[in-house]
Structure 1
Amino acid sequence: MDALIAQYTGADEDARLVRQYITRMEFDTTMHALAPYLKAGASVCELGAATGRYALTFAQMGCDVTAVELAPEQVAILQAKADSLGVSLKLFEGNACDVPMIPDTSQDLCVILGPLYHLQSPAERAQVIGEAKRILKPDGVVAIAYISRFFVAGLFAQKFPELICPEVLSQLLENGLVTDPRADSFFRVGYFSTPQEMEQLLTSNGFHVSSHLATDSIGRYIAEGVNQFTPAQYDAWLAHHLKTCTEPTLLGASNHGLVIATFAGNEGHNEHRFDKEK
């Protein structure tokens, strides 16, 4: 846990999401997908809120926002930004796997856009989904983001060829982990999943998957071109992307994936798209 906090101490998550078109697309796609659930007055919880790029946007849209963040420095930055903007939200320092400060059946939407990048054990991943289930109202909605292990392998081939060896690739493919000391600390504290696994994580906990998006699609592979777009070109590319990002064949190739699901209780709706395709 200390290593994870250290990884995000000094990190500027807000700048990451806006400094390039390729990262702005991640934010714009996520907001587009969540828009139907972000009605004024809706109770929205973000677990792993970082410096508040999403949580503060939700609050500015009139939602009743609760934000939980693990890293103390990120909590302080988020609070300072909220004060500067005159935005009101409930902010807690805490672990997404255990949020007793949030009452049972109190939230319309639970957004988990970072913790599953780092919860390396199945028990931890089940805990965070269990907490989401506990705090959601009946028919509440959860949105979870993940990083694809297939994309990470391609990233290594492109930028970190020293990690292209049987040991690293086998561990990544089989376990979603990268422990090689030559890897950057982000990868060593990370967990990288498959699209199928993320759907199964939700359906096995009583959720019904309503949409699954390739948040970046192929954009990361053509980042040099995308980042050189004019504003009009970016708008055209984003519109194209939003029409195609639910294409199942793009999911594993995308850096980030986003799964949105409705709490369906413990019975029914426990099938998922990958089962249907068999």
Structure 2
Amino acid sequence: MMTETTPQVHEEILAYYSRGEEDARLREGGASAGRLEFWRTQDVLRRLLPPTPARVLDVGGGSGIHAAWLAEDGYEVDLVDPVPLHVEQASRLPGVTARLGDARDLAAADAAYDVVLLLGPLYHLHERADRVRALAEARRVAGPGGPVVAATINRFAQLHDLLRKERYFEAVHRERTDATLRDGRHRFYEGGLFTRAYFARPDEVVTEFGEAGLAVDGQYGVEGAAWLMGGVEDWLDDPERREAVLAASRHVESEPSLLGVSGHLLTVGGRRR
């Protein structure tokens, strides 16, 4: 049984997520194309995960945006997150248990889960050693053959997003974006558009999986190029067009030359044999 741990999280990250806006971003979309990210993540996971019932550890699971549908599908879901508001929100979900915790120091026993998801923690770990440590912890608590699925923000996501929104023409945003392109580190700025984060290259994630003792089985661009198209949010309101967008995204989701175009990337792997 998991026990509560004291997560080590930067105060600016805690403040950002304590605003409670992440759940609405993924459910309601808008300028962020969050609904496309949500539906595509769900689409990919449903093809990667073992059949129900299976035990899922949702590390950094936020308010339970994915834990909710996983539980509805029949999975046993435990959620760990460093933000108290998220834990409070997720604990209200049927079939989901939620605890405070740190991805780098999980309270779970070895091989306790059939699936381990890290759909957020790697976003906010600037240091490579911390990212590898989080992946190694996921490997430790995943059972034999159990997949570890990690989400990352792609290195060029901010550049593409600000061009799409015409914010890259503003000198202050261009300077900050160009700095992030050099080393992947998004710094926190008062009044900025996002909090402290790390934006990774797809091949970098593969290397870090290997350092954590995980063999990569596949990588999936979540939004593909669709998120850069101005009408995508309107398309998603039409069920037929939404299915067409999802189908189109599947065609290119693992095309190596297009992985970095997507805003987010899912990498799946398992214990090295």
- Whether 1:63 and 2:70 are equivalent positions in the alignment is no
Matches within 5 A, 1:122-137: 122-137=128-143
Q: Are 1:70 and 1:95, in contact at CA under 8 Å, matched by a contact in 2?
A: yes
**2:203 is matched by which residue type in structure 1?**
Q
Give how far 1:25 is off: 2.2
Matches within 5 A, 1:1-278: 1-20=10-29, 22-36=33-47, 37-80=49-92, 82=93, 87-100=94-107, 102-157=108-163, 158-160=166-168, 161-162=170-171, 163-165=173-175, 169=178, 171-179=179-187, 181=189, 184=192, 186-187=194-195, 189-222=196-229, 224-229=230-235, 230-265=238-273
Structure 2: gaps of 5 or more residues: 1-9
TM-score (norm 2): 0.87
Q: Matched residues in 1 for 2:101 and 2:193: separation?
A: 22
Q: Matched residues in 1 for 2:194 and 2:73: separation?
A: 32
Q: Are 1:66 and 1:90, in contact at CA under 8 Å, matched by a contact in 2?
A: yes
Q: Matched residues in 2 for 1:75 and 1:237: separation?
A: 32
Give how far 1:7 is off: 0.8
Give how far 1:168 is off: 5.0
Q: Matched residues in 2 for 1:217 and 1:89: separation?
A: 30
Percent of pairs with identical residues: 27
Give per-residue Cα distances to partners, 1:106-133, cap 9 Å, x unaligned: 1111000111111111121111011101
Q: Matched residues in 2 for 1:234 and 1:89: separation?
A: 28
Q: Which range moved further: 35-44 or 154-163?
A: 154-163
Please identify runs of 4+ aligned residues in structure 1 that moved more than 6 A.
Answer: none
Give per-residue Cα distances to partners, 1:31-50, cap 9 Å, x unaligned: 22222415222111010011
TM-score (norm 1): 0.85
